[in-house]
């Protein structure tokens, strides 16, 4: 299961505070408008920052996104390196010394992590290192999540295409065309299972593969019957045989077992 961005950021700010002991560790993510929305907190807070949206280039976080690197201020209220649009909010939280770093995924700035204290002072190297490490870590986690999600979407597209090819092959009378469609389906299946040989102890007939391939896409028995030009009763009979062969107790369990056995992409 892929963790949500929100979960990743919540975990990151908790790790950051534990590692540094800052008064407040918090973070935000960049939306489609390129604005930074603050929603992740760990530490002492009165809630003034929760839900605040920062415009590009504004405040500490906006500045970090603008220049693409870590920014530290000894006293937020007096520093000249950032704009002071959000001073009232920062004052409500009583924050003074602050540091923030960008979270980067595949060269895109997707968020900002902050560490803040309720007193004026230089942010030390230990905090800087911990913040940099955490920003890098959560960026890498999010990059992996993105790639997994992309792979999952591609896999579902391939599975849908495979099921459609099986459906077309089942309706074609020309042996040459049917064979070509079967080969195309086998190529798609091979692209997903990575050359793993199907489990010979779980062999299904061609028609059973047609049925379970469509079931695997979420189709009901009635929809499978309509797609293959069969009766619902016939589909149920095929499914009963499939479930027995695969040791499954439900339709979707049968589809999952077929995939594990290398029979479906």
pLDDT in tens, 27-48: 999 998 899 999 999 999 999 9
Structurally, at CATH architecture level, domain 5-148 sits in 2-Layer Sandwich (3.30)
- Is the pLDDT score of 175 beyond 90? no
pLDDT at 118 over 60: yes
Q: Residue 113: pLDDT above 70?
A: yes
Looking at per-residue pLDDT, the higher value among 161 and 65 belongs to: 65
Q: What is the mean predicted confidence (pLDDT) over 193-198?
A: 55
Q: What is the pLDDT of residue 212?
A: 93
CATH 3.40.50.10440 fits 155-260, yes or no: no
Write down the domain spans for the chain.
Answer: 5-148, 155-260
pLDDT tens, residue by residue, 232-262: 999 999 999 999 999 999 999 999 998 888 8
Q: Is the pLDDT of residue 50 over 90?
A: yes
Share of the chain above pLDDT 70, in %: 94
Question: Same CATH topology for 5-148 and 155-260?
Answer: no
Average of per-residue pLDDT across 92-120:
97
At residue 98, the pLDDT reads 98
pLDDT score of 3: 67
When the pLDDT of each residue in the chain is averaged and rounded to a whole number, the result is: 91
Whole-model pTM: value is 0.75
DSSP secondary structure letters along the chain: -PPPHHHHHHHHHHHHHHHH--SEEEEEEE-TTS-EEEEEEEES--SSSTT-EEPTT-HHHHHHHHHTS-EEES-TTT-SSS--TTHHHHHHHT--SEEEEEEEETTEEEEEEEEE-SS--PPPHHHHHHHHHHHHHHHHHHHHHHHHHHHHHHHHHHHHHHHHHHHHHHH---HHHHHHHHHHHHHHHHHHHTTPPP-GGG---HHHHHHHHHHTTT--HHHHHHHHT--HHHHHHHHHHHHHHHT-SSHHHHHHHHHHTTS--
């Amino acid at each position: 299961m892929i963790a949500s961005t929100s979960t990743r950021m919540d975990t990151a700010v908790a790790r950051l505070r534990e590692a540094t002991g800052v008064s407040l560790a918090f973070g935000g993510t960049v939306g489609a408008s390129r604005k930074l929305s603050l929603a992740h907190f760990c530490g002492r807070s009165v809630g003034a920052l929760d839900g605040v949206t920062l415009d590009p280039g504004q405040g500490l976080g906006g500045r970090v996104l603008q220049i693409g690197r870590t920014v530290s201020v000894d006293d937020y209220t007096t520093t000249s390196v950032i704009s002071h649009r959000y001073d009232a909010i920062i004052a409500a939280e009583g924050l003074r010394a602050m540091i923030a770093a960008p979270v980067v995924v595949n060269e895109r700035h997707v968020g900002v992590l902050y560490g803040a204290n309720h007193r004026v002072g230089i942010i030390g190297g230990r905090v800087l290192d911990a913040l940099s490490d955490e920003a890098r870590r959560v960026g890498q986690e999010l990059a992996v999540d993105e790639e997994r999600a992309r792979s999952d979407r591609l896999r579902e597209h391939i599975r849908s295409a495979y099921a459609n090819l099986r459906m077309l092959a089942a309706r074609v009378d020309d042996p040459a065309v049917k064979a070509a469609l079967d080969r195309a389906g086998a190529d798609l299946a091979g692209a997903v299972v990575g050359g793993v040989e199907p489990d010979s102890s779980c062999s299904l007939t061609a028609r059973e593969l047609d049925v379970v391939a469509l079931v695997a896409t979420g189709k009901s028995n009635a929809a499978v019957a309509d797609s293959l030009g069969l009766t619902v009763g016939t589909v149920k009979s095929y499914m009963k045989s499939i479930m027995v062969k695969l040791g499954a107790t439900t339709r979707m369990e049968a589809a999952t077992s077929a995939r594990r056995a290398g029979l479906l992409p």
